[in-house]
A and B are shown apart, each in its own frame.
Chain A
């Protein structure tokens, strides 16, 4: 993709977990026994995923604090014996994270109601897009437009139903008299063109950057 060479994602700026498939029951047992290493391992396994989820739902504002609070809730619940099925640790963490998201949204909604008029716009998530992110997003949209404009009106209608009107594949195939294979093929071709165009533009951008550096060094 166009941005892969240079994009930094604040939501994923965490070290990789050491284990990819730990035994949850053993990990829970270690935490319940007060093993500090157990808590470290729990943090290493889940902190990135919790950060990822919270960032997507709530933005980057006070993200570290929210991750820390969520992790504390998980650890304290495990130590109190609230996790009855240790093998369901992932599901438990997910439930805690979703409750945290709902609680944060609730708090912001109530605070905004006290501070502003009722019919003012309430934006719960402040994504905080910087100009670079905005420019990258615009480039992607232009790529997508380029691809869509070269399609037939029917193919454009099909993709518009899927991405814009969020109709299901089954509904689109039924209403547009398409087979599932035809639909999948159309979508995968469009996405492949999107990726190819993005790569070509990235290579072009990198080449221009290299040439610029060369010409400056010669000068």
Chain B
């Protein structure tokens, strides 16, 4: 315990504005509207709304360069993913952002079809 009243700057102080204040105490989204890999970007013509919170402005800045995933936004802003989802949902609802479903990975062909094809080939040529 040091006696000084003016402690040095702590290197690792937690953020001044806590995440629950940023969401204003709202519940997390339970829907699956936004997943980790949902891509979002800014609208070309942003709507005129009341001044946005610094976190939302920062989020829009991040997305202004192209599509960015929710996970990446969380990484850059150092906010929990659940909180980012709330912010993204807000911005999307107000028309600042729009989202795009992730590019689907190649579908695996159904095994049943393969078997039917195999059976057909065997019936014909076998």
Q: Do A and B come from one complex?
A: no
Which residues of B does A touch, CB under 8 Å? none
